[in-house]
Amino acid sequence: MSIDYLYITKYTNDMNNSKIVSVDGSVDVIVDAMMRMAELNKNNELNLAALHLYVEIIKLQPRHAEANHNLGLLVIQEKKAEDALPFFEVSIQENPQIEKYWISYITALMQIGATETVASALEWGTKFGLRASEAENLLSGYLKKLEDQAALSEKLAGEAESHRLLIPPPWPEPRLSLTANLDYIRAPQCKGRRYVILAPTYRHNSSGIRVLYDLQKWLVCSGYDAIVVAGLQADSIGSFDDDIVIYPEVVTGNPLKAKRIVRYILNSPGKIGGTKEYDESELLVAYSGTFAMHAKGAIMMVPPVEHYFYSDNTPKTLTAVYVGKEKDLGKHPADSIYITRNFPATRHAVAQFMRSLKTLYTYDLISAIGHEAMLCGCDVKYIDNNGIMVDFPEPLTLQSSLDEFKAELHDFIEMTQTIWKNS
């Protein structure tokens, strides 16, 4: 591929490994830049340039789900659906929760007439990220196409006889989902009031923000209507008079002018925003035992860490530092790579980066990042406000089991729906 397609200021060509790597040795930096460049080229209809970029990305990271999917889309535009299938298969095997991956894969199967594999893919897709309604649309469209082709059945009979359908690939087993098993919750006779969660705009590198968005998913899976209102000004929002509104502790006052308020305390009140005291009419719920003193003992600890934070045989050669909500005292090694809001760029990239770390130094004891690093097999050191370095303790905020959280969620729903049932 021509280097004209890669406007990257820091790169080197490692001829021994046939890989493009950044000066600091991080492939992820280059891959992220190439993904952005490929998307820009694709948006400007420079498909050939985008295609070359995706090919190079896959050389660096063969199992990159989004790069494989996007390359498959470009290949299929050249009416080579069969050639695109291997790329679509990688994308769904790596991240089967993404609906568009299933749609692209099933559409390609339909184009080549792989009927048996289509049926298998539709069945498995609905177990993961493919909505039942979308599966029905795909199937109805495909059946209509088959009906149209039936008029030519005599002419095509011989060809159909010799056409070999693809054997369905080995589908990944469904991953255990934190939101899949909610049978512990008693099915309510009445779904009750809707929950409205006011949250900052989503950022993958904030465990507090992730918790707020995940809470919405848990409530929906529990049978209740729940929405997230993100990044909006109070004067541009309509009425929420009939709802139960959940504010994190960083929100000051009652911007949604709600009548029923839950204050979800994810950090010490007033430490990073908001106030230290709340209206006596508010229901106070703490994220963990660390903050239970501010909530009269009520706790609901939404699981903050995904299943793909684990240790493997990745060589551990790097050192990193995370400052978070604390001050950078400069007590960490000078060659440490800073973990920031922009690096790594995604949650999957965070997990991959953690697995390459020998040691993580953190100034933030409350953040989930120390626990995440431990799960990835990394040695973690905590530097307190006095510059004293100790081994990072197992965070109290992350010790609840999933069963304990389920009980807490059940109690939260019962409590909020009961006290405001008739008010």
pLDDT tens, 179-207?
Answer: 445 554 444 445 689 999 999 888 887 88
What whole-number distance in Å separates Cα of residue 52 and Cα of residue 1?
Answer: 6
Look at residue 112 and tell me whether its pLDDT is greater than 90: no
Which neighbouring-strand residues pair with 12? 21
Confidence of residue 337 (pLDDT cuts 50, 70, 90): very high
Look at residue 265 and tell me whether its pLDDT is greater than 80: yes
Structure tokens at 372: 């995440």
What pLDDT, on a 0 to 100 scale, did the predictor assign at position 389? 93
Confidence of residue 363 (pLDDT cuts 50, 70, 90): very high
For the chain, domains (ranges, CATH) are: 3-162 (1.25.40.10), 195-303+401-419 (3.40.50), 318-398 (3.40.50)
Average pLDDT over residues 338-360: 89
Give the torsion through C-alpha atoms of 217, 221, 195, 325, to 10 deg: -30
Structure tokens at 381: 């050191």
Cα separations (Å) of 327 from 163, 206, 375, 384?
66, 17, 25, 9
Average pLDDT over residues 399-408: 75
Q: Torsions phi, psi of 14, nearest 5?
A: -85, 95
Structure tokens at 96: 């089967």
Confidence of residue 355 (pLDDT cuts 50, 70, 90): very high
What SS3 string covers the chain? CCHHHCCCCCCEEECCCCEEECCCCCHHHHHHHHHHHHHHHHHCCCHHHHHHHHHHHHHHCCCCHHHHHHHHHHHHHCCCHHHHHHHHHHHHHHCCCCHHHHHHHHHHHHHHCCHHHHHHHHHHHCCCCCCHHHHHHHHHHHHHHHHHHHCCHHHHHHHHHHCCCCCCCCCCCCCCCCCCCCCCCCCCCCCCCCEEEEECCCCCCCHHHHHHHHHHHHHHHCCCCEEEEECCCHHHCCCCCCCEEEEECCCCCCCCCCCCEEEEECCCCCCCCCCCCCCCCCEEEECCHHHHHHCCCCECCCCCCCCCCCCCCCCCCEEEEECCCCCCCCCCCCCCEECCCCCCCCHHHHHHHHHCEEEEEECCCCCCHHHHHHHCCCEEEEECCCCCEEECCCCHHHCCCHHHHHHHHHHHHHHHHHHCCCC
Look at residue 395 and tell me whether its pLDDT is greater than 70: no
Confidence of residue 236 (pLDDT cuts 50, 70, 90): low
Quote the distance between the C-alpha of residue 247 and its chain's center: 22
Confidence of residue 269 (pLDDT cuts 50, 70, 90): confident
For 138, residues 6+ apart whose C-beta sits below 8 A from its C-beta are: 103, 106, 107, 110, 122
Average pLDDT over residues 226-240: 71
Look at residue 74 and tell me whether its pLDDT is greater than 50: yes
What pLDDT, on a 0 to 100 scale, did the predictor assign at position 14? 35
Look at residue 22 and tell me whether its pLDDT is greater than 60: no
What pLDDT, on a 0 to 100 scale, did the predictor assign at position 15? 28
Look at residue 13 and tell me whether its pLDDT is greater than 50: no
By DSSP bridging, strand 261-265 and strand 195-199 are unpaired
The model's pLDDT over 279-292, given as tens digits with 9 standing for 90+, comes to: 888 999 998 877 88
Confidence of residue 248 (pLDDT cuts 50, 70, 90): very high
Measured CA angle at 397 (ends 318, 201), to 5 deg: 75
Look at residue 263 and tell me whether its pLDDT is greater than 90: yes
- Decide: 290 and 396 in contact? Cβ < 8 Å: yes
Give the percent of the chain with pLDDT over 90. 20
Average pLDDT over residues 96-107: 88
Residue 113: what residue type? G
